[in-house]
Amino acid sequence: MSEKPLSERQKSILAYIHSYVAEHGRPPTIREIGSAVGITSTSVVNYNLTRLKEMGLLERDADVSRGLRLTGELAQAVGSVQTAVAQAISNLVRVPLLGHIKAGEPIEVGHDNFAVYDEEDAIEVSTSMLPGRTNDLFALRVSGDSMIDAMVNDGDIVIMRQDSNARNGDMVAVWLSDDTTTLKHFYHEGDKIRLQPANPTMEPIYVDPGEVQVQGKVMLVLRQMAN
């Protein structure tokens, strides 16, 4: 195995592969690895997997979607690496994926939930990517392109923290009194709330403060990537 120390990113990748295999009995895909450790480019994931292979920490069949396997070299690695990987595994938090939210015009979904969802759906994210408490997080898959200039695209997943308060500029999920919900930047402007899209082709939404309920703030965006 290479004497070159692992980067924090490589430690996170190894930790995620280890925990995923333990839970699912098979290795994750490139897309799943990128989403879990916050890498937006499949080429960057591939680069780090190549480096880990060169270090002798995993074996890889690049022609197979899930062609990864941790090697015995990992178990024989120096204590500091083993400890770092174990710590990274213990720092993973499971965030429930509750459904979809519209980044565009508000859509009718009801007050109590964003969409029909499977309660067992979850996204695994490292706590190092989410400062602060983690017991009130939830995830939503974004539909629409009103927040593209904020690097939130159609199909991305946003990790939200439950919060009924917002500061100007926060990206929030809001419920409106006409039973619609949307993802926008929040601005309190006197007697009106401005819900601002991050897309120059779209107009802001103006509503009375009493007609808006903030349901959560965006803490992290996980980019949609192809396998």
What CATH number is associated with residue 53? 1.10.10.10
Helix (H, G, I), strand (E, B) or coil at 106: coil
The whole-model pTM stands at 0.57
Same domain, 49 and 121: no
Specify whether 120 is located in the same domain as 207: yes
40: its two tokens? 């937006």
Q: Which of 178, 163, 180, 179 is nearest to 214 (CA)?
A: 163
Residues 68 and 62: beta-carbon distance below 8 Å = no
Task: Report the Cα 169 to chain-centroid distance in Å.
Answer: 20
User: Residue 159 pLDDT > 80, yes or no?
Assistant: yes
The residues assigned a catalytic role are: 146, 184
Domain identity same for 58 and 141: no
The rounded distance, in Å, linking the Cα atoms of 126 and 91 is 6
* Cα separation of the two ends of the chain: 28
**Domain of 54, in residue numbers:** 8-90
86 and 98 co-located in one domain: no
User: According to the model, what pLDDT value does residue 149 have?
Assistant: 92
Domain membership flag for residue 2: no
Last residue of a domain, one of 73, 90, 107: 90
Whether residue 122 is found in the same domain as residue 45: no
Q: Among positive and negative, which fits the CA dihedral 31, 34, 40, 46?
A: negative
Determine which of 45-54, 79-88, 170-179, 206-215 has the lowest per-residue pLDDT on average: 79-88
pLDDT digits (tens, 9 = 90+) for 60-84: 776 566 667 666 555 444 344 555 5
Averaged pLDDT for residues 155-172: 91
